[in-house]
Chain A
């Protein structure tokens, strides 16, 4: 166990955990987009930033990635933290003005409008679909492609994947709804990453929608 100070209060946490779940566990509200307990953290969205003092150094750190350690002093709502989160929210809002979850997070941080040129993307590039596909489904049919402003998520060569099993884990994990769950109920394509082939009814979860839609 390690002792740390969070917003002035001393708490204990198990070594090996990261700050985010510990902080949430004691009731601190922290916005996140790229975090999901089912897959490994990735630190992409930067919404979970907190101020961490370790020894003499103080820095803004993504709490979803930062490991618990003895003697850490954590501030979860300092001015610096709020300012940084607002900036992140503004950038996200500029990229995805139409995504409800992004608007909600921005609203909670008091960001109504973005000063940056607007785009109209659905995807925030959080990579949850990639991690879900790789770590939960064990398929890794999709990954990030290209980089910078051209970056997107795609199967190899931007063509329907030959390895996708149609489990729709990616659809479930996606925080912005850019992978439409209705896609997979409309045969023959289940979602935009998958190739066209008949779905097998799942014998574990007995997914009914698969069966009725596909006539299995």
Chain B
């Protein structure tokens, strides 16, 4: 991320300590993860120790300090989704895409991550793909999502 962009993010929150979580979220939205350099710069400009920002970023599971894929597939394994077969949904994703939960495909296109409840248990089992919620998942819907991700993936390769 270039400096101006980062500075604009920090300016939005007034370079205030209370805005650090929001800054990290914005950074992650752009970069799909929170890079070390950005994290350190936020600490420096906001005027708090990098150790605290690191503590914060590692506290919340929604922050990633590792690069992630273009598409992020969050499979819910919370209680309700677990009961309604979340684990099988996860299994199908990992089998079809060929990576383990928490991993990113070597081409950097897809990341699969488990989450613990996304807050819409009525739709269980739930999968969130790039912030879009897919409810009442079944094996067919998994295949469709995988295909969609692959489709964009092919376009990505051609481009």
Binding site for B on A (CB under 8 A): 134, 139-147, 154-157, 161, 163
Contact = CB atoms under 8 A, between A and B. Distances in A.
B55 A145 contact: yes
A140 B48 CA distance: 9
B52 to A, nearest CB: 5
A162 to B, nearest CB: 8
B49 A147 contact: no
Contacts of B55: 143-145
Contacts of A163: 49-50
Given A134-B49, A140-B49, A156 B54 contact: yes
Nearest to B36: A157
B65 interface: yes
9 contacts: A140-B51, A142-B51, A143-B51, A143-B54, A143-B55, A145-B58, A155-B51, A156-B50, A157-B65
The SS class assigned to the B binding surface is: helix
A156 B51 contact: yes
A197 B51 CA distance: 19
Contacts of B49: 134, 139-141, 143, 163
Contacts of B52: 140, 143
B84 interface: no
B140 to A, nearest CB: 35
A179 to B, nearest CB: 15
Contacts of B39: 156
B88 interface: no
B77 to A, nearest CB: 16
Contacts of B53: 156
B51 A146 contact: no
Interface string B43-85: 1000001111111001100000100000000000000000000
Interface string B110-134: 0000000000000000000000000
Given A156-B40, A157-B65, A147 B58 contact: yes
A141 B55 CA distance: 11
A146 B53 CA distance: 11
B146 to A, nearest CB: 30
B15 to A, nearest CB: 18
A161 B52 CA distance: 13
Nearest to B50: A156
Contacts of A141: 49, 51
Contacts of A144: 55, 59
A143 B40 CA distance: 14
A63 B49 CA distance: 29
B113 to A, nearest CB: 16
Contacts of A154: 51, 54
